[in-house]
Structures are given as structure tokens and as C-alpha cells.
Amino acid sequence: MRRCALARLLVAAALLLCGWAITEPIEAAGEAAPKNSTPASRVEDTYRKFLSRREAEPTNLVVAWQFAAACFDKCEFSRTDSERAEIANQGITACQWALSEDPRLAPAHYYLGMDLAQLARTKLLGALSLLDRVEHEWMYTIQLDENFDYAGGERNLGLLYLDAPGWPVSLGDRGRARQHLLRAVNLHPEYPENHLNLIEAYLKWHDRKLSIDATNSYVKILGAARVKFAGPDWESAWDDWDKRWQKIQSEMGRSGLASPYSRK
């Protein structure tokens, strides 16, 4: 199974607490994405397929976390907070059931954190306490399977620590952010999102040398990544990744940093 590619995830937009994630695309087994479909329509189709499967196979653990993944995707296209909360809670419930059956099911912990993060976006009050739960779920995901979703637990935690306010307001922490973002790159250097997150962090911290080193590392994997992560399910991801890459290059140019494309 593969998931429809997304843009990035706001962990708690109402409180300006941002945590972004790209997740591995899922689509129904053996079915190609329809021609001329849009990301929104593919997400809707995938959600409905897994909703039907969840209803038909209520004791299937894999279907439960796959449905939760589809709920996360659908939340990205929700038009209101009430709709987003309703869909997020469906995913949360599915993961909680799966974990009651198998507490060590890494994908269920991962998507529980993802859907809790979507729920946090709808809260004017209580978002901070939800972020503590999100942190716990992603930390446990790493303990169980650090490679899941191209080091998704490491990636998400790094961005959570990067963008959340620091102590005593929240759990933001520069040292932890760097640790997890770097670990994601080391585990899965083939995945563009891991590199982009690290570059953006270094630029945010005004670390000249590491920004250049990280951009050069990204350039080295970019060609192979365009081949590996190709097709309709990755179109939205590449749209996001390329826009961020252009912004990175522009920012580096304004800062007087060497362009990675100028290096032989």
C-alpha cells in the first residue's frame, strides 16, 4: 500500500506551532491513479476505499492504521475545523483500537501522532497538551521502527522541536531538532524531505558552513530521487519540495552563500 503525497503538516497553526511531514504515498493495491485526477480527488478516493475496508474488516490491524493514514491525508483538504476534527478523530480512534490489540505496532503510533497533530490544528485551547501526546507517539515510533516512512518519526520530531516555542512555553529545542533532523538524513538520505528540512534548519540558525554542506548533499541525491519518487502519487510532494528548494537557493544567494550548482 502507498499513500497519496501531501504538502506539509501544520502541527498547531492556531498557536503558530508548526511541525511538517511528508508521508509515503498509499493507494489501493493493484490500482493505478486515474488519469487527470487531482491530489484532492485521489485523497478522497483513497479515504473512501479505506473507510469501506475498515468497515468490512474491523479487526484488521493493518487496515486500521492505513485508514488512519488516509484520514490524515483527507484532513489536509478539510475546509473547516469541525470537518478536520471529525476526520482526525476517526483516524485517532482507529489507531487507538489497533494499539489496544498490539501496543508495539509502529505505524499505529506514527499515524496516531499525525492525526493528533491534525486535531491540534483545530484547537484554540489545549493544542499544547496535544503536542505532548504527539511527541510521545513519535518517540515510541522511533523505538519500534526508526525506518518507518523514510525515518518519519525522526523527521517529524525534529521539525516539532524546531518550530515549537521553547521552554517554558512548549517543547521547542534546537539541540533536539538538529539531532533528529540529522538522524533522518543519515537513515534515509535518498528521501528529499529529510534533506530539505535539515537545510532549512541550518539556514534558520544562520549556520553558513553546514547550510552549504547540506545543500551539496541534497544536490547529490536529487537526480536519483526524481526517478525513485516518480509518478502521480508524488506530484504534490515534488511541487512542495521544488518550491522549498527554490526558496532555499534564493535565501542562500541573498546570504552570499555559494550556489551548490556552481560547484563541480
Please give the grid coordinates belonging to residue 146. 526508526
102-129 pLDDT, tens digit each: 999 999 999 999 999 999 888 866 677 7
Burial of 241 (0-12, 13-18, 19+ CB in 10 A): buried
Averaged pLDDT, 66-91: 95
Q: Is the pLDDT of residue 262 over 90?
A: no
Q: Is the pLDDT of residue 148 over 90?
A: yes
Q: SS3 breakdown of the chain: % helix, strand, coil, rounded to 5?
A: 70, 0, 30
CA 229 remoteness from chain centre: 15
Burial of 175 (0-12, 13-18, 19+ CB in 10 A): exposed
pLDDT of residue 164: 78
Task: For the chain, list the domains and their CATH numbers.
Answer: 13-187 (1.25.40.10)
